[in-house]
A and B are shown apart, each in its own frame.
Chain A
Amino acid sequence: MSLTLSDIGRIANLARLELSPQQSERMLTQLNGFFDTVEQMNAVDTTGVEPLAHPTAVIDHVSLRLRPDVASEVNDRDANQKSAPAVERGLFLVPKVIE
Chain B
Amino acid sequence: MSLKPIHDMGVAELAAAIADKKTSSVEAAQHLLARARQHEHLGVYLALNEDLSLAQAKAADARVAAGERTPLLGVPLAHKDIFVTRGFPTTAGSKMLAGYQSPFDATVVSQLAAAGAVTLGKLNCDEFAMGSGNDNSAFSAAHNPWDVSRVPGGSSGGSAAAVAARLVPAATGTDTGGSIRQPAAFCGITGIKPTYGRCSRYGMVAFASSLDQAGPMARSAADCAALLTAMAGPDIDRDSTSLDHPAEDYSAALTRSREGATAAQPLKGLRIGLPAEFFGAGCAPDVLAAVRSALSEYEQLGATLVDISLPRTELSIPVYYVIAPAEASSNLSRFDGVKFGHRARQYDDLIDMYKKTRSEAFGPEVQRRIMIGTYVLSHGYYDAYYLQAQKIRRLIAQDFQQAFTQCDVIAGPVAPSVAWTIGEKSADPMANYLADIYTLSTSLAGLPGMSVPAGFGAANMPVGLQLVGNYFKEGELLHTAHAFQQATDWHLKTPQGY
Min distance, Cβ A93 to any Cβ of chain B, angstroms: 9
* 29 residue pairs from A and B, CB less than 8 Å apart: A11-B375, A16-B351, A17-B355, A17-B370, A18-B358, A27-B371, A30-B429, A40-B314, A40-B318, A41-B322, A49-B392, A49-B394, A51-B393, A55-B197, A56-B197, A58-B397, A59-B196, A59-B446, A59-B471, A60-B244, A67-B237, A80-B103, A83-B100, A83-B101, A83-B341, A84-B340, A85-B337, A92-B339, A95-B350
Task: Report how far A82 CA is from B97 CA in the complex, Å.
Answer: 12
B387 partner, pick from A51, A58, A92, A95, beta carbons under 8 A? A51
Q: Which residues of A contact B429 (CB under 8 A)?
A: 30, 34
Asked if A44 lies at the interface with its beta carbon under 8 angstroms from chain B, I say yes
A23 to chain B, nearest CB (A): 8
Quick check: is A94 within 8 A (CB to CB) of the other chain? Answer: yes
Q: Does A89 contact B (CB under 8 A)?
A: no
**Contact A34:B372 (CB < 8 A) given known A41-B315, A53-B210:** yes
Residues of B within 8 A of A12 (CB): 371
CB distance from A60 to the nearest CB of B (A): 6
| B353: chain A residues within 8 A (beta carbon) | 94-95
Whether the pair A17, B358 counts as a contact (CB closer than 8 A) is yes
**Is A84's CB under 8 angstroms from B241's CB?**
no
Given known A31-B375, A41-B389, A66-B240, contact A52–B321 (CB-CB < 8 A) = no
Kindly supply a per-residue 1/0 record for chain B positions 191-206, scoring 1 wherever the CB is within 8 Å of any chain A CB and 0 otherwise. Answer: 0000111000000000
Contact in complex: B391, A49 (CB < 8 Å): yes
Q: How far is the CA of A80 from the CA of B362 in the complex (A)?
A: 22
Q: List B contacts of A71 (CB < 8 A).
A: none
The interface size of chain A toward B, counting residues with CB under 8 Å, comes to 53
- Is the C-beta of B347 less than 8 angstroms from some C-beta in chain A? yes
By a CB distance below 8 angstroms, the chain B residues around A59 are 195-197, 243, 446, 471-472
Interface of B toward A, CB cutoff 8 Å: 99-101, 103, 195-197, 210, 236-237, 240-241, 243-245, 312, 314-315, 317-319, 321-322, 329, 333, 336-343, 347, 349-351, 353-356, 358-359, 362, 367-368, 370-375, 378, 384-385, 387-395, 397, 429-430, 433, 444-446, 471-472
B385 partner residues in chain A, CB cutoff 8 A: 38, 41
* Cα distance, A34 to B108, chains bound together (Å): 35
Task: Kindly identify which residue among B236, B318, B340 contacts A41, using a CB–CB cutoff of 8 Å.
Answer: B318
B318 engages A37 (CB within 8 Å): yes
Interface: A42 (CB within 8 A): yes
- Chain A residues with CB under 8 A of B333: 16
Q: Give Cα A16 to B371, complex, Å.
A: 10
Query: Do residues A27 and B319 form an inter-chain contact, with CB atoms below 8 A?
Result: no
Shortest CB distance A87–B (Å): 10
Chain A residue numbers with a CB within 8 Å of B375 are 3, 7, 11, 31
Given contacts A51-B387, A56-B446, contact A82 B101 (CB under 8 A): yes
Of chain A, the residue at the smallest CB distance from B351 is A16
Contact with B along A21-43 (1 / 0, CB 8 A): 00000010011011001101110
Q: Is the interface of A mostly helix, strand, loop or mixed?
A: loop
A54 touches B471 (CB 8 A): no
The chain B residue with its CB closest to the CB of A95 is: B350
Residues of B within 8 A of A80 (CB): 103
Question: A50 an interface residue at 8 Å Cβ cutoff?
Answer: yes
Closest chain B CB from A18 CB (angstroms): 4
A40 touches B315 (CB 8 A): yes
Within the assembled complex, what's the spacing in Å between the Cα atoms of A16 and B344? 13
Contact B358 A16, beta carbon cutoff 8 Å = yes
Known: A15-B371, A54-B210, A66-B240. A83 touches B99 (CB 8 A): yes
Q: CB distance A19 to B359 under 8 Å?
A: yes
Asked whether B243 lies within 8 Å of A56 as measured between CB atoms, the reply is: yes
* Chain B residues closer than 8 Å to A14, beta-carbon distance: 374, 378
Which residue, B195, B336, B371, has most C-beta atoms of chain A within 10 A? B371
Q: Are A55 and B99 in contact (CB under 8 A)?
A: no
Contact check, A31 vs B371: say whether CB atoms are below 8 A apart.
yes
Residues from chain B with Cβ under 8 Å of A19 in the complex: 359, 367
A2 contacts chain B at the CB level, 8 A cutoff: no
Asked if B356 and A18 make an inter-chain contact with CB atoms under 8 angstroms apart, the answer reads yes
18 new A-B pairs (CB below 8 Å) besides A44-B312, A53-B210, A83-B340?
A: A3-B375, A12-B371, A15-B329, A15-B358, A15-B370, A15-B373, A17-B367, A18-B359, A38-B318, A42-B384, A42-B388, A44-B315, A51-B390, A51-B394, A52-B390, A60-B197, A60-B471, A85-B337
Closest to A16 in B: B354
Q: How far is it, in angstroms, between the C-alpha of A50 and the C-alpha of B277 when the chains are bound?
A: 25
Please report the C-alpha to C-alpha distance between residue A56 and residue B384 in the assembled complex, in whole angstroms.
24
How distant is B391 from chain A, measured CB to nearest CB, in Å? 4
